[in-house]
Amino acid sequence: MRSPARTAWLAFPFACALLCASAVGAPKNVIIMFADGAAPTQWELARYASRVLRNQPFVVTDRVFRDGVLGLLSTHPAAVFVTDSAAGASAMSTGHKAQNGAISVTPDGARPRTVMEAAKQSGRRVGLVTTAQIWDASPAAFSVHAGSRREAQSIVDQYLALEPEVLLGGGRDFFLPKSAGGRRTDDKDVLAAFSAKGYAVLREPRQLRESRAAKLVGLFSDHALGLEIDRDPAREPTVADMTRAALDALARNAGADADKGFVLFVETENTDDAGHRNDIAALVRALWAFDEAVAAALEFQANNPDTLVIVAADHETGGLSATSARGETGGNTFPVIVGPKEFEKIMRIDASLDAVAAKLGARPSPEQLDALIAKHFPGFTLDADLREALLLQRPLERNFAISPQTVLSRMVSRQTGFYWGTTGHTAEPVAIGALGPDAQLFRGYADNTEFGRRLLQLIDGR
């Protein structure tokens, strides 16, 4: 029989997480939603944009952070202050600091247990979803071990041994031998090996929608999946599409372990990619797309209240700030304060800076440059210094050397007030939101290793 508290929770699925925790006990299912490179600045940007541009709540802030338990994590790795994704995810998965580049291997060479290894030990099913290569740093560090994030082939081999029931993303290259168009240095066809173990092997979004299999390997690109702003729906699914498919597969009755639940890791890498390119238009789309995936997780939770949903990130990327500044056009200066008009202006940009850079090519003519700016950046004008930099292929200062993307980005900054401090990562603490049973474990200010220890604790059922 249901307790009154549990009935109330069912009736109000987004109500206080403490109530959920006391009502349903330790979670059976855990969904970790990871926006690589997103810190409070990024969440606030997406929340405000969602309100002023589409009059819609932003689920991460308005449901998970508001109704759930909020925490803040220090992100530094072993030895230095600024982390990469490998060390960040290693700490959050194992509870131990790693050096930048390492995949759940400590500086002294130890290989502490990962979240997904613990999940398997507890009898749970396991899923990994990312817009990056599936063997990329974050999903890898949540699952397996490697001295370096570059050991893609070893990471894929360890996936085959660990057997996560769901693998969805990009990075088909290290699943296939060179003879089949892949990049493996041996002759192994890992997709065939997964297929022999009973996995459905998918390549297209259509197959993802139609699949009824309980075990899935869906790799939709040889490389990482693209940015949401450029996405071709016939070729690549959204992160929400992949999340729904993963939840369907993981919840499907599949033998004796079915009732022990699952642990699903879902990542958007788009947010980190957009940050590295200082691409504000791509970033907002990426955050909104991620938000749809979080909404899908909450929908699952509403039907399965013994599910904990955690929204997390590993670090901030880009040193983004929405500012009040002074713009200048033709020698005249004017105030630029980010507001609804500036958001409208960035939403008129209809391609990523990477896509525009590819169209510009190595030696754009002035006419070609003007045509591309008019087409993809309506309402923007290129200042003389930036125009010259683009035509002469001269990068901005050293820390913004990704050219021409960061030159185009500077045009957008000057005319909208969204400024970037770097094309790298920063040490800004990341926000953690948890909603559901045991959410209170993630309350308050903590080190990223503490996040890992708490996650392992609840997966172990202690």
Q: Give the interface size with Zn ion as a residue count (CB under 5 A).
A: 1
Tell me the DSSP string of 344-388. HHHHT--S-HHHHHHHH-SS--HHHHHHHHHHHSTT----HHHHH
CB of 277: closest distance to Zn ion in angstroms?
Answer: 11
CA 256 to each of CA 123, 196, 307, 347, 402: distance values in angstroms, whole numbers, following the listed order:
9, 20, 19, 49, 51
CB of 424: closest distance to Zn ion in angstroms?
Answer: 8
Residue nearer to Zn ion on the CB measure, 271 or 301? 271
CB of 343: closest distance to Zn ion in angstroms?
Answer: 24
Helical H segments across 12-114, by residue range: 17-24, 40-54, 59, 66-67, 85-94
Residue nearer to Zn ion on the CB measure, 223 or 348? 223
Q: Check residue 96 and report its DSSP letter.
A: S
CB of 275: closest distance to Zn ion in angstroms?
Answer: 7
Stretch that binds Zn ion, among 270-278, 344-352, 362-370, 438-446 (CB under 5 A): 270-278
Structure token pair of residue 11: 């009736």
Q: Are 345 and 416 in contact (CB under 8 A)?
A: yes
Place of tokens 């990482």: 224
Which residues in the 192-251 window bind Zn ion by CB under 5 A? Answer: none
CB of 108: closest distance to Zn ion in angstroms?
Answer: 25
CB of 276: closest distance to Zn ion in angstroms?
Answer: 6
Within 13 A of 340's CA, how many CA atoms are on the CB side?
A: 6
CB of 85: closest distance to Zn ion in angstroms?
Answer: 5
Separation between Cα atoms, residue 415 and residue 278, nearest integer Å: 14
Residue nearer to Zn ion on the CB measure, 272 or 342? 272
Separation between Cα atoms, residue 345 and residue 129, nearest integer Å: 32
The sign of the torsion formed by the CA atoms of 431, 434, 438, 444 equals: positive
Q: Are 283 and 8 in contact (CB under 8 A)?
A: no
Q: Which amino acid is at 187?
A: D
Question: Which one of 3, 22, 74, 85 is the catalytic residue?
Answer: 85
Query: Where do the DSSP E strands lie in 112-165?
Result: 125-133
Length of the chain: 462
SS3 349: coil
Q: Is 272 in the site for Zn ion (CB under 5 A)?
A: yes
Residue nearer to Zn ion on the CB measure, 262 or 265? 265
Q: Any long-range contacts for 390-396 (C-beta under 8 Å, 24+ apart)?
A: 390/360, 390/364, 391/364, 391/366, 393/362, 393/363
Residue nearer to Zn ion on the CB measure, 136 or 291? 136
Residue nearer to Zn ion on the CB measure, 36 or 236? 36
Residue nearer to Zn ion on the CB measure, 267 or 272? 272
Active site annotation includes 148: no
Stretch that binds Zn ion, among 22-30, 251-259, 264-272, 297-305 (CB under 5 A): 264-272
Stretch that binds Zn ion, among 90-98, 185-193, 267-275, 334-342 (CB under 5 A): 267-275
Stretch that binds Zn ion, among 166-174, 268-276, 351-359, 414-422 (CB under 5 A): 268-276
Within 13 A of 247's CA, how many CA atoms are on the CB side?
A: 26
Separation between Cα atoms, residue 412 and residue 270, nearest integer Å: 19
Stretch that binds Zn ion, among 25-33, 46-54, 265-273, 361-369 (CB under 5 A): 265-273
- Residue with the shortest CB distance to Zn ion: 272
List residues near Zn ion by CB under 5 A.
272
What amino acid positions are annotated as catalytic residues? 85
